[in-house]
Structure 1
Amino acid sequence: MDVNGWADIAYSHLVCSHGYIFQGRGEGIRTAANGSSSGNQNWYAVCGLVGGTATNYDTITPSLLSAFQSAINRLRVLGGAADAINVHNDHVATQCPGKLEAYVNWGYMEPNPES
């Protein structure tokens, strides 16, 4: 990171299946994870620490989804993020974010207005 002059890990935040949120670059700092210059300039990036294969994928837990919601809410409140939520392959052709894309499309990442 220091040798390459990077601000931190490429993501704004990372979330895990236990419901923890880890700060990467945080709010107000350009990401480097979205795969394109405009994607990195105009969008924050939250990484779900899950993966695997089509037949052996990590469980998408309610705690993981709640952590995504909290991280997105934080980016909106503290970082001025807009209401839209997209996925990595909206910026560049990739299989990322795997099974998480369906949860974005179904609206599960949208923060609860009461939180």
Structure 2
Amino acid sequence: MTIKPASILCSALLCLAAAAPASGIAHSNPSALFGSAAQTNAATRTVVLTAETRSVLVESGETVSFRAGDRTESWTFLEAIGGRSVDLSLLFPNLEYAKGVRVFIQPSNLFTGG
């Protein structure tokens, strides 16, 4: 019987996928799936949140500051080729007006070669 390298790789990936949720790795910091907190001075722009704000469009790899009242928080969005979205309150649970604001992460030309 001959074992093909592709079969070994596939089996290894299945084992890793099955083990990750059991170890708590997959759920320890869900906001990390979308990037990471950043210094405000690294932001390329600032979005002012109000009670009427419902969505924000950002680009993969972009660092954006979000201001609500006298508080400002910044985030560098993950370089994702396919794009995705996240509720801003997952990234900043204590930031006023963040709940219910959908952040749409668009693919960047830098990472897609466009």
TM-score between the two structures when normalised by the length of structure 1: 0.29
More strand by share: 2
TM-score between the two structures when normalised by the length of structure 2: 0.29
For the pair shown, the structure with the greater C-alpha radius of gyration is 2
